[in-house]
Chain A
Amino acid sequence: MNELGTALLDWLDERLDIRRGIEWATHKQVPIHRWSVFYYAGGVCLFLFLLQLASGILLLMYYRVGADSSYESVRYISSKVAFGWLIRSIHSWGANIMIFCVFVHMFSVFLMKAFRKPRELTWVTGCVLLGLCMAFGFSGYLLPWNELAYFATNVGTDIIGQVPVAGHWLLKLVRGGNDVTGATLSRFFGLHVAILPALLSLTIGAHLTFVQVQGMAHADESPKTMPFFPNFFLRDVMLWLVVLNAVAVLAVFFPWELGKKAEALASAPAGIKPEWYFLSQYQFLKLLPGKVLFIPGELLGIIALNAAGLFWLLTPFWDAVVPQEKKEAAVRLVGWGGLAALLAMTIWGRFS
């Protein structure tokens, strides 16, 4: 390091004790074994979040929220603004790939049993992050105010209205009225660009702090490791570059469509489907009949889906009480079973 660099480092070190941080990063070790590639999944999610942040801020410069302006401004971005189509396409593709990576990260953590003590809270914050990402996807989906988004939002918010007792009240809170209108659009916009980014940033902060404090979980007995800095870190960054290129290629060759503008007095178009990450829930709700005994099918379905989500969130806690000799089998059953069910329902939903 040259003199100026050293001087700067000294200056900072005197005030912020940063040499200790650097020291610590070089001592941190990442385990090496045949599943090591999955250690990169979380980093990729983080990178995609940063990409969403950057492209989202750029979109904000032209986007105008409102039932008479949202659709028009997105069309303006994609047709008139230089590279507007690219930014919008990157934001849409990035969002989808990010959710995909979150799923990969989650299932790999689950199957490597990295949620076990002392990492229970890391797992729980991770589940919260998945929920926030899906809320991001759901709220962002409405913002172009097109036909598909309009009906997806009708259905999705109606589900909130099914909650016993407080349902109607919650529905009004989310929709900003009894129906999906420009008022809903404003709320979703606020959620998407202010509330969710704040919550997600805070939760990511906690999640990463936990990961740093506890280090990476060993998936097997192999004692081999590599230093986090610079070995693992540089590999991380290299992968981020690959991901950035993949998103760019998809965005360029498969630009995101805008569709038809939403209209309150039009029938839901044939073939309407939610985004792929809601397809499994969608298919499940579609299968249920109007009434199961006395209970409305949709209510039953929503209770079942929430129970499944809660069970998943509480994984480290039920795992802790499963008897030792059954532990491995239980995790394998829930992990692979859950993954298989999710995939099957998603594919069925896609092609039905």
Chain B
Amino acid sequence: MRDFTRKDFLNLFLGGGALGLVASTVYPVLRYLLPPEQVEAEPDALKVGAVKDFAVGTSKIVKFGPKPIIVIRDVKGNFHALTATCTHLDCIVQYSKDADLVWCACHGGKYDLSGKNISGPPPRPLTQLDVRVAGGDVTVVKTA
């Protein structure tokens, strides 16, 4: 084995220093670019309106904590609540009254009213939330 010379030492020293310089510049910049986490608590329940605000065969998109959800009153008058962000590529879905199912305009994905992905590209179902109707009010509750 070759001796560890002064030159080797200097190379190691300078190389290590250069690496440290790069790391200590890049790391803060990358961290700077990542925005601080904003914790918006997800509520357990949210009042979304009165029953009379929901005509049969309509839907409404509201914010449930940080995420949008879709509250549907189907053609038979039943309520459903699902997360509104398409599991494919993040578009916001809509309720199609004619087909009585949930539809995504971006790539034509379809879900049934329980959130199950039934056709098109979406890989996963939408998350279902419970809907409670009491005293004329509609409340969406996180499924346990």
Chain A residues packing against B (C-beta within 8 Å):
151, 154-155, 157-159, 169, 172-173, 176-179, 183, 264-272, 282, 285-286, 288-291, 296-298
* B51 → A minimal CB distance (Å): 21
Interchain CA distance A178-B120 in the complex, whole Å: 25
Contact between chains at B107 and A154 (CB < 8 Å): no
List A contacts of B86 (CB < 8 A): 268
| In the complex with contacts A158-B90, A298-B89, A268-B106 CB distance below 8 A | yes
Is the C-beta of B17 less than 8 angstroms from some C-beta in chain A? no
**Which of chain B's residues have a CB closer than 8 A to the CB of A265?**
61-63, 68, 92
Q: Is the CB of B107 within 8 A of A296?
A: no
Q: Which residues of A contact B70 (CB under 8 A)?
A: 267
With A176-B35, A286-B108, A290-B117 known as contacts, the answer to whether A268 contacts B92 (CB < 8 A) is yes
Which chain A residues lie closer than 8 Å to B104 at the CB level? 268
| Given A177-B35, A290-B117, A290-B123; A159-B89 close (CB under 8 Å) | yes
- Contact check, B123 vs A296: say whether CB atoms are below 8 A apart: yes
Q: Does B33 contact A (CB under 8 A)?
A: yes
Whether B35 pairs with A289 at a CB distance below 8 angstroms is: no
Using known A-B contacts A265-B62, A290-B121, determine if residue A172 contacts B34 with beta carbons closer than 8 Å.
yes
Whether the pair A272, B105 counts as a contact (CB closer than 8 A) is: yes
B91 touches A154 (CB 8 A): yes
Cβ–Cβ < 8 Å partners of A264 in chain B: 68
Question: Which residues of A lie under 8 Å from residue B66 when comparing CB positions?
Answer: 178-179
Closest to A162 in B: B89
Closest Cβ of chain A to B23, distance in Å, is 18
Min C-beta distance of A66 to chain B, whole Å? 16
State the interface size on chain B (CB cutoff 8 A).
30
Is B88 part of the binding interface, using a Cβ–Cβ cutoff of 8 Å?
yes
Contacts of A176 in B (CB 8 A): 35
Nearest 9 A/B pairs, CB to CB: A267-B94, A290-B123, A158-B90, A268-B91, A268-B105, A286-B107, A158-B89, A155-B89, A154-B90
> Chain B contacts of A290 at CB under 8 A?
88, 117, 120-124
Q: Which of A159, A267, A285 contacts B93 (CB 8 A)?
A: A267
In the assembled complex, the Cα of A151 lies from the Cα of B104 at a distance in Å of 11
Partner of B34, one of A157, A173, A298: A173
- Chain A CB within 10 Å, residue with most, of B35, B62, B122: B35
Residues on A with C-beta less than 8 A from B107 are 282, 285-286
Q: Please tell me if the beta carbons of A270 and B105 are within 8 angstroms of each other in the complex.
A: yes
Question: A269 to B105, Cβ gap below 8 A?
Answer: yes
Which residue, B90, B91, B105, has most C-beta atoms of chain A within 10 A?
B90
Q: Could you say which of A157, A172, A268, A298 contacts B121, with CB atoms under 8 Å apart?
A: A298
Which of B33, B70, B89, B117 neighbours the largest number of chain A CB atoms within 10 Å of its CB?
Answer: B89
Beyond A158-B90, A282-B107, A298-B121, 8 extra complex contacts between A and B, CB < 8 Å: A157-B90, A177-B35, A265-B63, A265-B68, A267-B105, A285-B121, A290-B88, A296-B123
Contacting residues, chain A, for B94 (C-beta < 8 A): 267-268
Question: Are B121 and A267 in contact (CB-based, < 8 A)?
Answer: no
B38 contacts A by Cβ under 8 Å: yes
With contact pairs A173-B34, A267-B105, A290-B123 given, residues A155 and B117 touching in the complex (Cβ less than 8 Å): no
B117 proximity list for chain A (CB < 8 A): 290
Residue of B nearest to A153 (CB): B90
B121 → chain A, closest Cβ, in Å?
6
A interface footprint on B92-135 (CB within 8 Å = 1, 0 otherwise)? 11100000000011111000000001001111100000000000
Q: A285-B107, A296-B123, A297-B123 are in contact. Are A172 and B88 (CB under 8 A)?
A: no
Closest A residue to B62 using CB positions:
A265
Contact (A183, B68) CB under 8 Å given A155-B89, A155-B91, A268-B92:
no
Q: How far is the CA of A268 from the CA of B94 in the complex (A)?
A: 7
In angstroms, Cα B38 to Cα A249, docked, is 48
In the assembled complex, the Cα of A179 lies from the Cα of B104 at a distance in Å of 18
Cβ contacts under 8 Å, A297 to chain B? 121, 123
Interface centre among A169, A172, A290, A297 (most CB of B within 10 A): A290
